[in-house]
Amino acid sequence: MGKDKSLISYHGKPHREYLFELLKEFCSNVYTSCNAEQNVPDHLNPLVDQYQIGGPLNGILTGLAQGGESACIAIAVDMPNVDRATIKRLLDERDMTKVATCFITTQTNQLEPLLALWEYKAFSLIMDFVKTGNLSPKAFLELHPIKKIKADNSKIFLNINYPNEE
């Protein structure tokens, strides 16, 4: 993309601020996952990746570690169509007996691991998974019991990856 996707404004403010405020309506603690080089303002409660692995599993692990034994909602910062109804549905359909509750696309039945609620029980399983060299959240979810939610609207999965898509 050539720039920080979290700073793109889709709802009248940088998207990371929109998501932070949205999640505050549902969660007692909200953090903005980032790496050590990112400059996230204090009011967005930056949570720096704690593990020596690349990719989004680092943020998921760090979030799960931060929350004690609480679950962790992960939302990719490049998904501008996530809204209040999406978060409410994710929480309403949560299955605490599974390692995660996540949306799947209606057309392809593909898992969306970065629009998901990860249970704390996934922490040790993810740690074992990354030790094998695999860093794919989707591959992890495909190996474990999860609750799948079919999305009513496939537009929630849109991610912005190129400047002409803004």
Domains and CATH numbers, the chain: 5-160 (3.90.550.10)
User: What's the pLDDT score for residue 3?
Assistant: 62
Give me 161's structure tokens. Answer: 């990856």
**pLDDT score for 106:** 77
From residue 51, alpha-carbon distances to 32, 88, 99, 138 in Å are: 16, 30, 20, 19
Q: Which amino acid is at 2?
A: G
- At 152 the pLDDT is 77
Residues of the chain with pLDDT under 50: 1, 162, 165-166
Three-class secondary structure assignment of 12-46? CCEHHHHHHHHHHCCCCCCCEEECCCCCCCHHHCE
- Residue 48: what pLDDT? 97
Instruction: Give me the pLDDT at residue 135, please.
Output: 96
pLDDT of 105: 83
The confidence score (pLDDT) of residue 140 equals: 98
